[in-house]
Structures are given as structure tokens and as C-alpha cells.
Amino acid sequence: MKPLLLVFLLACHAPHASCGAPTTAATPVGVRTVQFSVGDGVTVTADVYAPLPPTAPLIVLFHQAGYSRGEYRTIAPRLNQLGFNAMAVDARSGEAVGGVGNATAASACRLGKPTSYVDAIADLKAAVARARTLTTGKLIVWGSSYSSSLVLVLGAELHADAILAFSPGEYFDDQGKPATWVADSVGAIAVPVFITSAKSEAQVWAPIAAAIDPAQLTTFVPATAGHHGSSTLWPTQPDHAAYWTAVTAFLERLR
């Protein structure tokens, strides 16, 4: 066998070098990490921030592209202070943020499963199902960037009590979905919806918002530049206070 061909074949059958357990910052005190399986065998990892009784409403938090559940390390504790338990989920389409690696993506990689945005739908559904076992109160879903679009697409199917979408858009036309897939999907949503983004992104989600029942819709566009995704709420973002004011006002209606 020719040397170059041998090297190629060995590489094809070698384990993925990037599929090991991701390096992850220490889990905060009082937070527990849970794992559960999806139908295709992928193991989903999530952090549960639940200092409140199980009768309290619970928010399921999904991250943006290239990120992990670490997107919510500073956000979830503040949601607890507002009266909400929370579960921050690693979806298989992502990598790491804040020193928190995406364990679900690593599981999908080891199994050779695809990890596009739409492939993460299975993880979102499984996470919401698991979250329902953790609360007897209201269940709210919250997405960031691509996952905010997915929670809107799945909105009616998930039977959540409310939806928050940070920087949604039509991100899926290169993944076999119509160019207006999200806007075409949201008409069936019959629960309160909150949408926000950076100021420059408002025109991106305007057609999506226009397709939602206006009686259910709350939007927030900052007067300043703002930021993309849920990380606009990080204390390091200069506009975070204005976003938190808008989010808090919306959530107050749900407790």
C-alpha cells in the first residue's frame, strides 16, 4: 500500500481529536449538572440553577452559535433573583464560551452525528421535556441567535408558557429550509413572546415579529448599539442595564 494512501486511511478511521470531554470551568456552587439522552444517542448536558421551590417558573436557556451553556453563567443567577429557576442547555451546534465547553457537541462528535443548527432541534425538544420534570410551575423557553429562531419555530409544539428570543433571524436557508421558515412558523404561537437584539438587527427580525399575534408580542430595540444574542445581558456589555429592564418587565407578567 502506498504510504500516502495508508496515512489517509488511518486518518479516516482515527478517533476525532476534538471529540474528548471539553475543558470546563468549575460549576458554580449550588448549580447541578444533569445529562439526558436524545433519540439518536447523543447525550445532552445542562446546568440547573434551581434555588427556588419546584413550584416556581422555570426558564430553559439555549445558547447562540459557537457557544455553550456558559453563555448563561451570569444571567441565570439573576433570573433566580427575579423568582425563576433556570436550566442552561448545551445544544450540539456550538463550542465554548467563558471557559465552559459544549459537552453535547462533544457527544455528537464522538458519535459522528451532524451538528448543524437544525440538528440541534432534537436537543431543544429533549431539554424542554426534561425541564418539565423539574417544575410544576410555568415553563418558559429562551433562545439566543440561531436557538432563538428555533424556539420560535418550535413555539407552538413545545407548549411553553412564554418565549424569549434574542437576535432571531432566518439563519437556515443553507440547511434546506425556506428563506422565510421562521416567519412562516410563528403564526401558531399563542403565548407571550419577547424579541430583542442589537439595534442594527431589528430589521432582520421585523418580518418574523410581523407574523406573530401582536397581542402576544413585546419587543425591545435599544437606543444604543446593543449586542447580539443573550450575551447582551452580560455585565460587561455597556447596554446591559437597559436590556435587563425590558426583560424584567416582561418576566414580571409571567410569575
Structure confidence by residue, pLDDT tens digits, 40-59: 999 999 999 999 999 999 99
Structure confidence by residue, pLDDT tens digits, 105-139: 999 999 999 999 999 999 999 999 999 999 999 99
Averaged pLDDT, 130-157: 97
% residues pLDDT > 90 (the chain): 88
Q: Report which of residues 8 and 63 the model is more confident about.
A: 63
At 255 the pLDDT is: 84
Given pLDDT bands bounded at 50, 70 and 90, which one contains residue 21? Answer: low
Task: For residue 254, count other CB atoms closer than 10 A to its CB.
Answer: 18
- Which residues lie across from 88 on neighbouring strands? 47, 61
CA–CA gap between residue 251 and residue 130 (Å, rounded)? 22
Task: For residue 46, count other CB atoms closer than 10 A to its CB.
Answer: 27
Q: Is the pLDDT of residue 10 over 80?
A: no
